Amino acid sequence: MCCDFLTLSLKFFRKFALSIKLIKMGNSYIRISIYLGLILWFASCGLIDDKSKKSIKATDKSFDMAEIRKQGKLRVSIDYNSTNYFVYKGKPMGYQLELLQELCNHLGVKLDVTVSNDVEKNFKELNSCNVDLIASNLAITNERSADVSFTEPHCYTRQVLVQRKSNSRVLSELTSHFSPLIRNQLELANKSIYVQKGSAFYYRLKNLANEIGDSINVIEIPDYESEQLIGLVAAGEIDYTVCDENVARINAYFYDNIDFETAISFPQKIGWAVRPNSPHLLEEVNIWLKGFKKSSKYERIYQKYFLNPRSVHLVDAGFNSLKGGDVSIFDPLIKSESASFKWDWRLIASLIYQESRFSPTAESWAGAKGLMQLMPETAEVFGVHDVNSPEENIRGGIKLLKWLDERMAIRIEDPTERIKFVLASYNVGIGHVLDAMQLATKNGKNPKIWDDNVDFYLLNKSKPEYFNDPVVKFGYCRGQEPYQYVKEIIERYEHYKNVMRQ
């Protein structure tokens, strides 16, 4: 169609040029120049139907390892499911997440996670330079290699057909009878198989249809990830889906009526993807992966999520972000008490996890008690009569946060930046934070910015050259604890925002 349009356009332009006497028989070079100009113009508008134009090409903008280290973070798109990324009892977990955390520790940068189960969107975001790496179960294929650079594989698996066992009690909404289990790929002829949109499963099934010399009705579902489709098979809403065998294996622990014994592919490499114009990032990731896969730590991570039957409880138990979005039994209480404060309840939940792991009877070595670890004196000041009462403890903790926020507000206008100062004050006391701000001012740093400014001086306030400085009024402080406290709460809060509703 595009070629026809181009031909017609060239004919039109030639007639037009002839009518105004721009083209003469003896001036063929003008005609050639005009034709070439038109071709280039239409090509630039994307009208030439070339196979390479269909693929998503990386931006010309260079953003490689040097730029990543300069910005101090690796931006990663990750899919959200029970093996790669989720929150369990307040703690971010997942196979891909743990690998990425190890990688970022190796690279010396922070991990910045974006959650998306849309495969096509992830590729576009990567090549638009909005993320630096895609970390999901990507099968390394020639088709995809035209658009992205794949890393060293982090694991190997094969694609399998997921179907209900013949003794299943669940009747399909699409059929009124039970079908025997498919064990021969030839039996897939004329079957309807649902897969995640843009996934390698779609292309594999299309190739398989050619191989068996018959049609397979492959239906792409844009809003469902592999595990959700497995759930639909188990519930009888669809008959078949395809996924990676390691994912099917772990799902079989909590869907006892699914079968995944029928393979539809040879073993495949599963890897991450980076932009083609990020060769240094690719090289560093590959060097790290080759070494890390040989380590006992990698073995523990892989076994934890794919080979250990007990890992099913990470998803099947309560307070998993995949099962309704709850962090703890105290979520409604945290939301209710947080309504009087302008902080996101998920930030309060992250703080509570840090303080007590949601245990209302927790008590520290120093005597702090309850969900928000209130000291007896603090509890008394803020009207907490029963420190072990979840409601009173949370209310008292939020009152303390308000009090700290009001005092920091006269010094730090930016509410987002102020959060970090308030968190540090909650942990170690406002006096030590004010000292760190004074040290930052004295040493030419910004006293209103936490990262790489005030946090450095609080971290180092255990050193004599800092706690003995004349501007310091509150003396020695073991700064590592509040430094990590702020860092971990904020990081966990970002994970909570990724997977839980506000």
In angstroms, the CA 316 to CA 231 distance is 13
Q: Left, alpha or beta for 126 (phi > 0: left; psi -120 to 50: alpha)?
A: alpha
Q: Left, alpha or beta for 190 (phi > 0: left; psi -120 to 50: alpha)?
A: left
In angstroms, the CA 306 to CA 311 distance is 8
Three-state DSSP at 322 gives: coil
Look up 417 and say whether it is catalytic.
no
In angstroms, the CA 145 to CA 241 distance is 25
**DSSP structure string for 182-208:** P-SGGGGTT-EEEEETT-HHHHHHHHH
- Decide: 134 and 282 in contact? Cβ < 8 Å: no
> Running DSSP on this structure, what letter comes out for residue 270?
E
Angle at 133 between CA 127 and CA 138, to 5 degrees: 95
Query: Which is the catalytic residue, given 102, 225, 355, 392?
Result: 355
Work out the number of other CB atoms within 10 angstroms of the CB of residue 318.
11
Long-range contacts of 277-281 (CB under 8 A, 24+ apart): 277/58, 277/59, 277/60, 277/62, 277/63, 277/64, 278/63, 278/64, 278/65, 278/132, 278/149, 279/64, 279/149, 280/64, 280/65, 280/66, 281/64, 281/65, 281/68, 281/132, 281/133
Token couple for 184? 């021969």
> Running DSSP on this structure, what letter comes out for residue 85?
B
Three-state DSSP at 215 gives: coil
Which residues are designated catalytic?
A: 355
